[in-house]
């Protein structure tokens, strides 16, 4: 099947109340690990690339690696999503590359650091929606700002989403999905406390209130890597220096899914899995110099992490639930 519009994947997740992981990719091994997990668990999947990933891969490599994943896994619904687009022009570029979904992060100016006003956010988001929908492409917006900075994105300041503003924003812009600021953060250092205490710092009431006001719009959770203790220990035990890294407990993510979160962004956990696997490999195999060996170990680590997420999010087993739509189908629906 061709790439699927992300709107369909999230709308179907809403019907059966499960979450779908959106996994950031930068190279072939990540894509292969993610797709192996999706195939084995029969999970729909969102593969997403940031502007940093597009620059790293010179754009076209992401496009064709995902095309290979589609060809190799014809039974799996796959959406290719732009993560944190910073302008209409960036979103247009992604759409030209074949992305079936884009995020316009209008919560920040084009520098991806300076917070915008509500009206500024509405203006750029609405422009992206009008352009993307004319081509059948899904649009995710964001209201509020997260803590932390990752891949050059983030103001470093937290501004929680206002539920009343969220309802107004969705109505004016027509976005298909909305990322909320609920106390999570980008990067590996999301909280400075124990994970169980951190769970209580996430504002679940914001999710609940937004869901009540706009029941038909899928909600998105950024900064939602769990930063598992075993991955941190693996990195540190083999020469890394990641003390006090704390992520979002899986129990909190699962609670958020029940309340209305349907897209869960995962980037840091993939990075940790790769780093830990490669560090361990080099220590245990000091004479090895074949990149296929240590990249193979990294690919295996990504597969294991992503497979666990797909099961924990409730995505597993849903790949065959529906007949996939195309962008042409979506163009008719939007009209």
Residues annotated as catalytic are: 83
What does the angle CA 286 – CA 26 – CA 140 come to, to the nearest 5 degrees?
150
Report the distance separating Cα 295 and Cα 154, nearest Å. 30
CB atoms within 10 A of CB 223: 24
d(CA 194, CA 252): 13
Rounded Cα–Cα distance for residues 264 and 13 (Å): 12
Provide the β-strand partners of residue 266: 23
* HEC secondary structure over 72-118: HCCCCCEEEEEEEECCHHHHHHHHHCCCCEEEECCCECCCCCCECCH
Residue 183 falls in which region: left (phi positive, over 0), alpha (psi -120 to 50) or beta: left
d(CA 99, CA 50): 12
């Amino acid at each position: 099947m061709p790439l699927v519009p992300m709107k369909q994947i999230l709308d179907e997740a809403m019907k059966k109340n499960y979450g779908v992981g959106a996994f950031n990719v930068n190279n072939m091994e990540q894509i292969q690990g993610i797709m192996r997990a999706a195939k084995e668990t029969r999970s729909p999947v969102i593969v997403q690339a940031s502007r940093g990933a597009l620059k790293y891969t010179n754009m076209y490599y992401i496009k064709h690696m995902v095309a290979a994943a589609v060809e190799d896994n014809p039974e799996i619904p796959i959406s290719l999503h732009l993560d944190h687009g910073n302008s209409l022009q960036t979103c247009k570029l992604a759409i030209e590359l074949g992305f079936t979904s884009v995020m316009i992060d209008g919560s920040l100016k084009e520098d991806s650091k300076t917070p915008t006003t509500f009206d500024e956010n509405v203006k750029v988001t609405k422009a992206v929606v009008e352009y993307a929908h004319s081509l059948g492409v899904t649009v995710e917006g964001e209201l509020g700002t997260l803590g932390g900075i990752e891949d050059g994105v983030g103001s470093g300041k937290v501004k929680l989403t206002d539920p009343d503003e969220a309802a107004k924003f969705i109505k004016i812009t027509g976005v298909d999905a909305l990322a909320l600021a609920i106390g999570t953060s980008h990067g590996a250092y999301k909280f400075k406390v124990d994970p169980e205490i951190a769970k209580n710092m996430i504002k679940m009431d914001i999710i609940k209130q937004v869901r009540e006001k706009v029941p038909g719009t899928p909600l998105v959770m950024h900064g939602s890597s769990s930063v598992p203790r075993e991955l941190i220990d693996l990195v540190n035990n083999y020469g890394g220096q990641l003390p006090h890294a704390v992520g979002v407990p899986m129990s909190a993510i699962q609670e958020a899914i029940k309340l209305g979160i349907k897209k869960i962004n995962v980037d840091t956990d993939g990075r940790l899995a790769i780093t830990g696997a490669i560090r361990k490999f080099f220590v245990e195999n000091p004479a090895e110099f074949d990149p296929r060996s240590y990249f193979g170990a990294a690919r295996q680590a990504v597969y294991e992490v992503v497979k666990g997420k797909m099961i924990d999010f409730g995505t597993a087993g849903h790949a065959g639930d529906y007949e996939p739509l195309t962008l042409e189908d979506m163009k008719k629906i939007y009209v």
